[in-house]
Amino acid sequence: MDPRSVRLNRQDEKFIDELYRTHRGILYKTALECSGGRLEAESVVHDALLRIIGSLDTVKRLEEPARAVYLATTVRSVAYNALKKEAVREKHAAEPPGDSWEDIPGGSNPEEELLAAENARAQVQYLREALAELDETDRLLLVGKYLAKETDAQLAYKLGIRESSVSMKLTRAKRRARKIIERKEAEDGRK
């Protein structure tokens, strides 16, 4: 379903407006990190919002910080797809007729790229599931540090702990998340 053809009711429009107001900082920050500049970032955020509108029911069911993770992941995915499309356009513009990816030094194998993308999607899903299983403190630490790019001082203030404790708690939270992800991979037979 094309999200541009979706008709939103007033309640959904308000939800999207509030979602954008609440998360625009992380949306643009993530887009800037993943794209070439401000104009590209704006385009990425726009396309990501269209994709988010298409999966509005899913977004509504998510609680914070899982919602923020979902939004940032969507922005990264859109940015990655845009970069890939641009690379393909550039490659084909420079590619003489008759050449294939096998003939180009350093050319990439589309099958390997698809497999890598599938593995990346699986890892994102495992991370979402791990975040859902972690306690609130661990989630706040991981999302704050790696998605919101908060400093140790900001995290310490948020959690009401000493700044010197943040590093230790973050290490333990990463360890717990890694164990959950490894367990899920083993359950799915991916390892």
Q: Does the pLDDT at position 176 exceed 70?
A: yes
Residue 174 in contact with residue 131, Cβ under 8 Å?
no
CATH of the domain at 181: 1.10.10.10
- Tell me: the pLDDT tens digits for 82-91? 777 777 777 7
Boundaries of domain holding 9: 1-108
67 and 159 fall within a common domain: no
Average pLDDT, stretch 106-126?
72
* Spatial distance between the Cα atoms of 77 and 63, rounded to a whole number of angstroms: 21
Mean pLDDT, range 120-141, rounded to an integer: 84
**pLDDT, tens digit (0-9, with 9 covering 90-100), for 2-56:** 444 557 788 988 988 898 898 888 888 888 887 777 888 888 889 888 888 888 8
Residue 70 and residue 91 share a domain: yes
- Split into its structural domains, the chain has a count of 2
Q: How big is the chain, counted in residues? A: 191
Q: How far apart are the first and last CA of the chain?
A: 34
Position 78 pLDDT exceeds 70: yes
Q: Does residue 113 lie in a domain region?
A: no
In this prediction the pTM is: 0.47
pLDDT-derived band at 170 (thresholds 50, 70, 90) equals: very high
Residues 82 and 148 in one domain: no
Same domain, 89 and 145: no
Residue 152 lies in a domain: yes
User: Do residues 29 and 65 both lie within one domain?
Assistant: yes
The answer on 124 and 92 residing in a single domain is: no
Residue 44 shares a structural domain with residue 126: no
